[in-house]
């Protein structure tokens, strides 16, 4: 009986080894767009794995072909964190877009030097970030932003979050334009209470 079973088993094993696995098309995930606070929290967790004392000092959105930054959300957010104990800073990027040059998820960048005395890179406690970018967007619409969108529905909107020294507060900059240096309107909103501060043109 064994002399008949063994050749049969060998043939089955040979067939299993030579057969090619079924080819499947790569799964393309739907794009994901987040408000700044949610994206920042994801990067904040990653930064704490880098240095336990890491705190953010800047958060900004980026434009992609599939996201113009409307509704306070973006497919790409970038944050920079600093470690005062090590005098170093490290950028992180969160991506949910299929149209960006970075991988989806959280990606760390390269370390750089950091000085705690530099006022332009003033770190902030995440507890101050209570009002999200979607709320800042709605506030900005009431102070000139809606007029720009009525004129151009494809008007890009960028978001920048940092500590404002003169106001001593965490501030959203809702920028209607291609960049901080090329914009039609920038509306400043308090990121702790959502209150309108001022508009810049």
- pLDDT score of 22 more than 90: no
* pLDDT score at 21: 56
Residues in the chain: 201
| Contact (CB, 8 A) for 50 and 91 | no
pLDDT, tens only, 83-104: 999 999 999 999 999 888 889 9
| Contact (CB, 8 A) for 138 and 72 | yes
Question: 0.75 exceeded by the pTM?
Answer: yes
- pLDDT score of 6 more than 60: no
| Contact (CB, 8 A) for 124 and 57 | yes
> Mean pLDDT over all residues of the chain?
89
User: What are residue 148's phi and psi, to 5 degrees?
Assistant: -65, -40
pLDDT, tens only, 39-67: 999 999 999 999 999 999 999 999 999 99
- pLDDT score of 24 more than 70: no
For residue 88, what are the β-bridge partners? 83, 113
Each as own residue / partner, the long-range contacts of residues 183-189 (CB below 8 Å, 24 or more positions apart, any chain) are 183/158, 184/148, 184/155, 185/140, 185/144, 185/145, 185/148, 187/136, 187/139, 187/140, 187/143, 187/144, 187/145, 188/164, 189/131, 189/135, 189/136, 189/139, 189/140
* pLDDT score at 89: 98
Where exactly are the structural domains of the chain?
A: 34-200
């Amino acid at each position: 009986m064994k002399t008949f079973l063994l050749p049969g088993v060998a043939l089955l094993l040979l067939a299993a080894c030579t057969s090619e696995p079924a080819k499947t098309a790569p799964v393309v995930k739907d794009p994901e767009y987040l408000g700044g606070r949610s994206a920042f929290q994801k990067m904040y967790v990653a930064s704490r794995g880098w240095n336990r004392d890491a705190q953010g000092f800047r958060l900004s959105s980026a434009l992609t072909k599939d996201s113009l930054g409307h509704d306070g959300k973006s497919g790409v957010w970038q944050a920079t964190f600093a470690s005062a104990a090590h005098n170093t800073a490290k950028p992180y990027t969160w991506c949910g877009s299929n149209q960006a040059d970075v991988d989806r998820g959280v990606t760390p960048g390269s370390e750089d030097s950091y000085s705690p005395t530099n006022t332009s890179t003033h770190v902030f406690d995440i507890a101050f970030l209570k009002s999200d970018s979607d709320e800042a967007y709605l506030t900005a619409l009431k102070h000139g932003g809606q007029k720009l969108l009525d004129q151009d529905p494809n008007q890009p909107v960028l978001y920048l979050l940092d500590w404002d020294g003169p106001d001593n507060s965490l501030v959203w900059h809702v920028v209607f334009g291609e960049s901080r240096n090329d914009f039609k309107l920038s509306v400043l909103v308090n990121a702790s209470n959502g209150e309108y501060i001022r508009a810049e043109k």
